[in-house]
Amino acid sequence: MTTEVRVPQLPESVADATLVTWHKNAGDTVARDENLADLETDKVVLEVPAPVAGVIKSLDRKAGVTVTSGELLAVIEEQAGAPGSAPKPAAKAEAKKPAESRKAEPMVPPPPPQAAPKKEESGGKLSPAARRLVEENKLSADQIAGSGRDGRISKSDVAHHLEAAPQPSTVTSAGRVDQRVPMSRLRARIAQRLVEAQSTAALLTTFNEVDMQALMALRTRYKEAFEKRHGVRLGFMSFFAKACIEALRRFPVVNASVEGSDIVYHEYYDIGVAVSTDRGLIVPLLRDVDRMDFASIEKAVTSFADRARKGTITIEELTGGTFSITNGGVFGSLMSTPIVNAPQSAILGMHKVQERPIVVEGQVVVRPMMYIALTYDHRIIDGREAVQFLVAVKEALEDPARLLLQV
């Protein structure tokens, strides 16, 4: 019996995906739920698990091609004895039938034993497509790690090697050296969305600064007890998220979005938290932040950072959102103008905490200060509302008790 492996249903906002790599070759044995291939969308990398255990009969799409929902990717020949296979429910019932009344079922012969690979030159381990790509780029197969059986090198292995290796250089007429590297699918999508945000919205940024002394003292006082109680470190993001919630409640237009000629006021708070990865910037969402406590926020942010590095964040976690927070301070940024994550209308930028002299009650003192920035869509948010929103965030952070009392 054969089972078809097809591209899973992609979300409505994603039209297609790129088949990045195969983890199995035709003829390989596969266990149920074992990852067969990786699909890269505009937002995340999806895994394609094997629906059944068996032997891969054919791979119907090559790595690097664009696929859509429902397209055939591979065919698996099911085997009862394959790893991960489960006994069929009807097995016991059939065992009770007389042997003579049972129809003989065709047995799927096991794959023929593979002969031990002979020592041969590296070119013998290349698939035809991989060999052509190696020759076109004048590469040495000995420098490429093969992911197939017995180290066989596939086209995707060569593609990954090209992405990781320094790209061939070209010399300009002035004698300078250029390197041309194609954008990844995610990077191209990020570029497209940023350009769209700049060209469709009237973006403006306003700034303020926060005296972090009270917040840092509170964090220092309770961080050990907090981590012991909740199993996660107490960071700044939970305080900023809660401060933004209080400010959004006071100025709901900052939590709104534009649809055509309408303003849509969202009566919920799904805050995106920008996370930087090797593949580019993604913005997973904290859903209903107003209902989350500090520990839940910190756990979610930690999970996002870990899963972003592994590429396991789901598309659902990246879809939607009413407001965003980005923290350039972790990279040392002192001040910036973040770009709104459309269709949202505003984004808060956090920055580096730096000691600076300021005047407090007529005295010059040194305090840990942070610049904060709000980029907003001036089509629906006026400067007065944007400035007052930042002041509300500032007041909540400089006096953290406000977050508990909601004043």
In this predicted model, what pLDDT tens digit does every residue of 132-160 receive, in sequence order?
667 766 677 777 877 666 677 876 677 66
Does 219 lie in the same domain as 88? no
Does 320 lie in the same domain as 218? yes
Does residue 294 contact residue 232 with C-beta atoms inside 8 Å? no
Q: What is the CATH number of the domain that holds 18?
A: 2.40.50.100
Does 264 lie in the same domain as 154? no
**What is residue 135's predicted lDDT score, i.e. its pLDDT?**
72
DSSP 372-387: EEEEEETTT--HHHHH
The lowest-confidence range among 179-193, 215-229, 250-264 is 179-193
Does 198 lie in the same domain as 156? no
Does 254 lie in the same domain as 363? yes
pLDDT tier for residue 394 given thresholds of 50, 70 and 90: very high
Active-site residue, selected from the candidate residues 33, 293, 306, 382: 382
Q: Is the pLDDT of residue 292 over 60?
A: yes
Query: Which stretches of 154-266 are assigned E, i.e. beta strand?
Result: 169-171, 177-179, 203-211, 257-259, 262-264
Asked whether residue 179 is assigned to any structural domain, the reply reads no
Q: How far apart are the first and last CA of the chain?
A: 66
Asked whether residue 315 is assigned to any structural domain, the reply reads yes
The predicted-structure confidence for 42-89, as pLDDT tens digits, reads as follows: 667 778 888 888 899 888 888 888 888 888 999 998 876 555 555 545
Q: What is the CATH number of the domain that holds 204?
A: 3.30.559.10
Does 141 lie in the same domain as 272? no
Sign of the Cα pseudo-torsion (230, 218, 370, 266, in order): positive
Asked whether residue 143 is assigned to any structural domain, the reply reads yes
Does 340 lie in the same domain as 197? yes
Does 137 lie in the same domain as 239? no
**What is residue 193's predicted lDDT score, i.e. its pLDDT?**
81
Asked whether residue 181 is assigned to any structural domain, the reply reads no
**What is residue 2's predicted lDDT score, i.e. its pLDDT?**
87
Distances (CA, A) of 212 to 88, 288, 295, 359, 387: 63, 26, 20, 14, 19
Does 343 lie in the same domain as 209? yes
The predicted-structure confidence for 86-127, as pLDDT tens digits, reads as follows: 554 544 444 444 444 444 445 555 555 444 444 344 445 676
Asked whether residue 99 is assigned to any structural domain, the reply reads no
Phi, psi of 276 (to 5 degrees): -90, 135
Does 238 lie in the same domain as 155? no
Give the chain's domain count: 2
Output 17 or 405, whichever has higher pLDDT: 17
Going by their DSSP bridges, the two strands 323-327 and 346-350 should be labelled as parallel
Asked whether residue 321 is assigned to any structural domain, the reply reads yes
Does 301 lie in the same domain as 192? yes
378 catalytic? Reply is yes
Q: Which two tokens stand for residue 98?
A: 């007389």
**What is residue 324's predicted lDDT score, i.e. its pLDDT?**
96
Output 4 or 172, whichever has higher pLDDT: 4
CB atoms within 10 A of CB 210: 25
The predicted-structure confidence for 229-239, as pLDDT tens digits, reads as follows: 999 999 999 99
What's the Rg (C-alpha) of the chain?
Answer: 28
Output 122 or 196, whichever has higher pLDDT: 196
- Which residue range is the domain that position 367 belongs to? 187-405
Residue 352 CA to residue 210 CA, distance in Å, equals 11
Does 303 lie in the same domain as 202? yes
Asked whether residue 176 is assigned to any structural domain, the reply reads no
Active-site residue, selected from the candidate residues 160, 230, 266, 378: 378
Asked whether residue 100 is assigned to any structural domain, the reply reads no
Residue 228 CA to residue 210 CA, distance in Å, equals 29
Counting other chains too, the contacts that 216-225 makes at CB distance below 8 Å and 24 or more residues apart are 216/353, 216/368, 218/400
Phi, psi of 78 (to 5 degrees): -70, 145
